[in-house]
Structure 1
Amino acid sequence: MAGTQTTPTVDELLAELAELEDPRIREVNQRHGDDHGVNLTQLRAVAKRLKTQPELARALWATSDTAARLLALLVCRPKTYQRDELDTMLREAGTPKVHDWLVNYVVKKHPAAEDLRLAWLVDPDPVIASAGWALTTERVVKKPDGLDLPRLLDVIESEMKDAPDRLQWAMNECLAQIGIHNPDLRPRALAIGERLEVLKDYPTSPGCTSPYAPTWITEMVRRQSD
């Protein structure tokens, strides 16, 4: 029928994504542990055309292709996943970008987010634990009631310095957000950051805020008071 738009097959979408592949983008992404070369603005345009399609999202995820999985996370419906399904997906995410999008675009919108946060926070795999810390940071900012913030600072103080990169980055963000949003805990958050010196020498582009927690906290508090 004229005007009817059929949904592309998974193979057709894989071919479309392959055509969008840019070797220069792949080269940049590979420095950060990612293995795709698709411009994310173009990827989002494909997702916008497809709209929400839960079954297609599952099929795209099953390909194990990074670009296809990123597209899947844009066209899925978070609540259609089971709690254990999300746990499995995180463990097979593979690359940092897929991991981050899964946590931010799907898990944070899921009814089991708190249950997963608590489970992942104590997971022995540091990459999985980093997702637990990312969800904890979300609560620090948006739903802090019920969190033991001093206890979180205890853990950060004792474990962040020697944590693997992904986990260290997630714990550092939690430290910064605790300091930014809690004036009573700010002196301790600043002191922890200054003593541990995590990310102190991280290269920061002009106009961007350093991820070094004392600098980050101080700058964001200054902006809030302007």
Structure 2
Amino acid sequence: MAELAALEDRKIRKVNEKHGDDHAVNLTKLRAVAKRLKTQQELADRLWKTDDTAARLLAILICRPKTFERDELDTMVREARTPKVHDWLVNYVVKKNPHSEELRLAWFTDPDPAVASAGWALTTERVAKKPEVLDLEGLLDIIEAEMKDAPDRLQWAMNHCLAQIGIEHAEHRTRAIGIGERLEVLKDYPTPPGCTSPFAPTWITEIVRRQNDKATA
């Protein structure tokens, strides 16, 4: 904890606070600490229990994702206060855990929008890797009906799923783009030069164009 405190940078904290995060550690330096420590499940457990964001991010990097029980992960995702901890927990731990599909189904309709967003994040991964377990038309129906008024974190996750469906599944692409155009979610999101807009129609069109260019190169 002392080492993490020594890595804090007020400028980083100021930037992170704009996105709802409260840590002040450069993530490259945090990853260097994790690389030195290597995998240490017991230490990861202790770091998580501190409720400190930087410590929890480090815990995620040094834990063994497959060792967690279903209920442990359910508790952890509900404890993950900040967006970065939530995102890393889902992507680096839950996705690699044998209970991920069970949790996806449980979280998908959870009344807590942050927990539901975890369910949508897991669903987005299935869109690309295991679409046979999904009802893609049904997902588009839900997105069309609920995304516009969803809370920010849940809305972002649903929008990612919409874009992924349009990118990965040509038979649903026209409908996915149409939903994005009608709802206009994230249409005016500020996008740095050289980055792809999160506005689904733009996102889908650009990634598909790159895939086609690569295929014909």
Cα distance in 1 between the residues matched to 2:153 and 2:165: 19
Alignment of 1:194-209 (within 5 A): 194-209=181-196
Q: CA deviation at 1:145?
A: 1.1
Identity %: 77
Partner of residue 156, structure 2: 169
Separation of aligned partners in 1, 2:133 and 2:91: 21
Runs of 4+ in 1 over 3 A off after TM superposition: none
> Which string of whole-angstrom CA distances, capped at 9 and with x for unpartnered residues, describes residues 108-130 of structure 1?
00000000000000000101000
Number of residue pairs matched by the alignment: 213
Match of 2:16 in 1: 29
Q: Which amino acid aligns with 1:165?
A: D
Equivalence for 2:73: 86
Q: Does the Cα contact within 8 Å between 2:127 and 2:161 map onto a contact in 1?
A: yes
Higher helix fraction: Structure 1 or Structure 2?
A: 2
Q: In the alignment, residue 106 of structure 1 is paired with which amino acid?
A: V
In 2: Cα distance, 1:68 partner to 1:32 partner: 18
Q: What RMSD, in angstroms, separates the aligned Cα atoms of the two structures? A: 0.4
- Distance in 2, matches of 1:17 and 1:159, equals 40
Partner of 2:203: 216
1:128 and 2:115 are equivalent in the alignment: yes
Local SS of the residue matching 2:84: helix
Quick check: 2:165–2:172 contact (8 Å CA) kept in 1? yes
Q: Determine if contact 2:104/2:120 at 8 Å carries over to the other structure.
A: yes
- 1:92-103 to 2 correspondence within 5 Å? 92-103=79-90
Q: For the residues of structure 1 that align with 2:60 and 2:124, how far apart are their CA atoms? A: 21
Following the alignment from structure 1 to structure 2, what is the Cα–Cα distance between the partners of residues 149 and 194? 19
Q: How does 1:29-48 map to 2 (within 5 A)?
A: 29-48=16-35
Structure 1, unpaired ranges of 5+: 1-13
Give the letter aligned to residue 123 of structure 1.
D
d(CA) in 2 for partners of 1:93, 1:189: 31
Give 1:143 shift: 1.2
Q: Cα distance, 1:90 vs. partner? A: 0.4
Q: 1:190 and 1:32 mapped to 2: Cα distance?
A: 27
Q: Is the 8 A contact 2:165 2:173 kept in 1?
A: yes
Counterpart in the other structure of 2:106: 119
Larger radius of gyration: 1
Matches of 2:51 and 2:145 in 1, distance apart? 36
In the aligned structure 1, how far is the partner of 2:178 from the partner of 2:97? 35
Indicate if the aligned counterparts of 2:126 and 2:133 stay in contact, CA closer than 8 A: no
CA contact (8 A) 2:13 2:24 kept: yes
* Structure 1 CA distance for aligned equivalents of residues 81 and 175 of structure 2: 35
Displacement of 1:146 after TM fit? 2.0
Matches of 1:148 and 1:57, distance apart in 2: 37
Find the aligned partners of 1:218 and 1:201 in 2 and give their Cα distance: 17
